[in-house]
Structure 1
């Protein structure tokens, strides 16, 4: 028996809804419930890996004739921002992925959770606890009428931007080496969106947001600052990672950062290379613990949205990471905090 036996994982970010949407399979419920080759998360593998739930992201994909990886194949310090996408396209894909989420719930594959209490109840019942999250809010109009509709439908967490500009702000390009200081801050509509999220009880995710946008959220928001899937810039100097002052602002607010498993945001060379060790993941977590304290660190895998270390492979590899924490000397209580307790506590503070 290891230190991490029976520790469930609540994860800050996955793109499984996008994978199911892009599969074009008419029976996505069967695809998820029975499992499939490829990808990172389905029901059989989730149960095997101790995956108890997380933020299920809806990400409006780029409108391109040829699909490209979210992260360039090789590090570049001149990588441009991906282009904006039309609101009509974003709205269509957002609604389609929300439909998939609720079809999965109707099929008893997961439970859509609107509060921390819902998450606890779902976990206690052995059901995957899914929080409705949007990554890049191009589907929302600047007047925020769609925000009310999405909130009523269960939206409880959103990232203002993906790594492209929209009506609300600017994302960071996928540059390495680069700081996150890559463009202007939030627009007036973006500032209004943050205030509205505070009022509605929607968690605001800082991942993908550039430095000036981050500063704007920190100044405006009355909620803890959260980056659901970001790493330490001092270890991997990628524009997507968090600098010392950003980590300091998150700690001061009582916020949280989820470790991103994407190899290009872990490695010191910024490369997408599946031959990436557990050691570098533990090193990022060690640094996050030093910067944020034991209550400020979680996991934010980016499953189904990134190249992850081969040693993890998919969601069934989560126990290997928790075992690596135990080998590093983390006690059971700390491992449980990182694995799920800190996320549930943060949801209590941000969505209720």
Structure 2
């Protein structure tokens, strides 16, 4: 499908255009620099329109009328003159229900679109979006998330006048996916919503974002796998300067080899790796509750086990190319020996973070 995207060089426009291209649509990109003939060509070819262009922080309040209402009217007029009843998806704002210049201009733009839809039979889907955040948003402009991420990523302070002020947020990737789903299923006239929407406060938002760089020092990651924290973490990383794309972690080395902790979690343990030279044995201890998973990345390893109660023994030999996990069992002392000719490299997950005060690691030979 050929999709005309207005505001294609803006924050949302860039995200929409990239995803449309990924799933096979042709993007007809329109921005403030697009000339009249390109506008006309795009309007004639478009099979669907995603109307994202608009003004939200003008130098002159009068620009709300020209940038939001006037531009929308121009788009509808061109579509009508071309005889093109292409469906339109419009990004309006939750401020449309507020009696102020910006909100009023959004309401007026919605009315222009709905009138055009009635006259041309073009489906018009309107999204009154709350604060949208994600990669490529301009910091120090109109997104607190972008500003906070940009500054925290550079070690700068962030100013908060009212920590208790509420925020309703939607993640740009979720917005785009809802748009894509609507395109695939067919645009229907009316007001639509993006889910999930996150309710938070300015203070909570700042606290979450500040925790991200701290995790590099503590090695303990926040819960970045789901929900708002996941979306904020991805957004935060997109604002990192290139010289902060990497960081070092402590390496603990002795005659046996190296041990490196990579990542810790608040409630699901930690990830590490260790090395061992030929003939070196590591371990020779048991745990009461702690459990571990070992993955041999490179080399040849012998795992030895002995049950503390029955004395039963068990052994496993693993090659690095096998993709084979070996688990430790509570109440069984265990060790791992490099029985190959080269360095042994083993990845390790433990279900709890190592606590020197309560290590649950008792030395005993297998």
TM-score, structure 2 normalization: 0.29
Higher relative contact order (CA 8 A, sep 6+): 1
Q: Highest CA radius of gyration, 1 or 2? A: 2
